[in-house]
Amino acid sequence: MNTIIESGFLLFFFQGGGGGLIGLLVPWILIFGIFYLLVIRPQQKKQRQAQMERDSMLKSLKPGDKVITSSGIYGTIVAVREKEDTVLVRIAQSVSIEMLRSSVAGLQSSEIKEIEAVK
Cα 68 from Cα 109, distance rounded (Å): 9
pTM over 0.85: no
User: What is the model's pLDDT at position 90?
Assistant: 96
Q: pLDDT, tens digit, for every residue of 23-42?
A: 778 888 999 999 999 999 99
In terms of pLDDT, which residue wins out, 7 or 95? 95
- Domains and their CATH numbers in the chain: 2-57 (no CATH), 61-118 (2.30.30)
pLDDT > 90: what percent of the chain? 61
Cα 11 from Cα 17, distance rounded (Å): 9
Average pLDDT, integer, range 49-59? 92
Burial pattern 44-53, b for ≥16 Cβ within 10 A else e, equals: eeeeeeeeee
